[in-house]
Amino acid sequence: MLGSRAALPLLALVSLVAPTTASAQSFTVDDASSAAVADVADGAVAWLDLDGDGDPDLAVTGLDASGARRGEVYRNDGGTLVLDAPNSAVVPDVSDGDLAVADYDMDGDPDLVLTGIDGAGARYGEAYRNDGGLLVRDAESSDNIDNVSGGGLSWGDLDADGDLDLALGGRTSDAPGSAVGYVYKNYRGRLGGPQYRTDLQNWRLYEGDLEWADYDGDGDPDLAIAGLGYSGNRPGRFRVLGAVV
């Protein structure tokens, strides 16, 4: 319990220590990498091997202790994270959003989708292609993604055509009723407009998350969602929706 103490932004890297007994496991803080990475709250993190060297790099967004939004990428240099300035310059400084990694353009390297809100109140829904280790804004896909904050992102092959589609939830503004829930179809490497408007299935999501999995074992992905519903007065709402193809 925090009591009267103020909560501080924090991002720490921890490593699993090999157990000394059959049941004991512990983690230790990676001080060097943690010192390099911005301490943030209301943020998101995602691992992706941007430079194709076999180890995961880290993308981070969030709100730092000064109240500034941050959007940064850290390169994995032999197990230590260091700031990747070129890619950090591409990622917008946002908080209250999500990051989702997938090779959506099917060229063999991981790409990134981002949502969130910046210090001026602008919301984002952006797709970035990985071009030889550099993130490049995918203008066509980005223009089709709704700009939201306070929601979630998840990849799944909803229509079973071999490429990954994107589920999104969040708020497009601060106005009542602005929450949305959409799935964007992947047209062989390009995200189109909302193909499946999940609000027609009676949900819109913000302040929550969503995730694909074939939980009923029928061979297609299903979608679990948790968060506040579109009316804004039902905290803890949870539904599981089957795929609609």
Tokens linked to 235: 């905290």
pLDDT in tens, 128-139: 999 999 999 999
Q: Which residues contact 4 (CB under 8 A, 6 or more apart)?
A: none
Domain extents in the chain? 32-207
239 pLDDT band (50/70/90 cuts)? very low
pLDDT in tens, 193-236: 877 655 434 456 667 788 888 888 888 888 887 776 544 444 44
More confident residue, 10 or 115: 115
pLDDT in tens, 161-198: 999 999 998 999 988 778 888 889 999 899 998 776 55
Do the Cβ atoms of 201 and 215 come closer than 8 Å? no
Do the Cβ atoms of 188 and 106 come closer than 8 Å? yes
SS3 for 79-99 is: CEEEECHHHHHHCCCEECCCE
242 pLDDT band (50/70/90 cuts)? very low
Tokens linked to 192: 């189109």
pLDDT in tens, 68-90: 999 999 999 999 999 999 999 99
> pLDDT at residue 6 above 50?
no
In the chain, what percentage of residues exceed pLDDT 90? 55
Distance of alpha carbon 146 from alpha carbon 193, whole angstroms: 9
Q: Element (H or E) spanning 228, and its range?
A: strand 222-228
pLDDT (0 to 100) of residue 66: 94
Q: Please compute the mean of the pLDDT values over residues 40-56 and round it to a whole number.
A: 96
> What is the reported pTM?
0.83
11 pLDDT band (50/70/90 cuts)? low
In the chain, what percentage of residues exceed pLDDT 70? 78
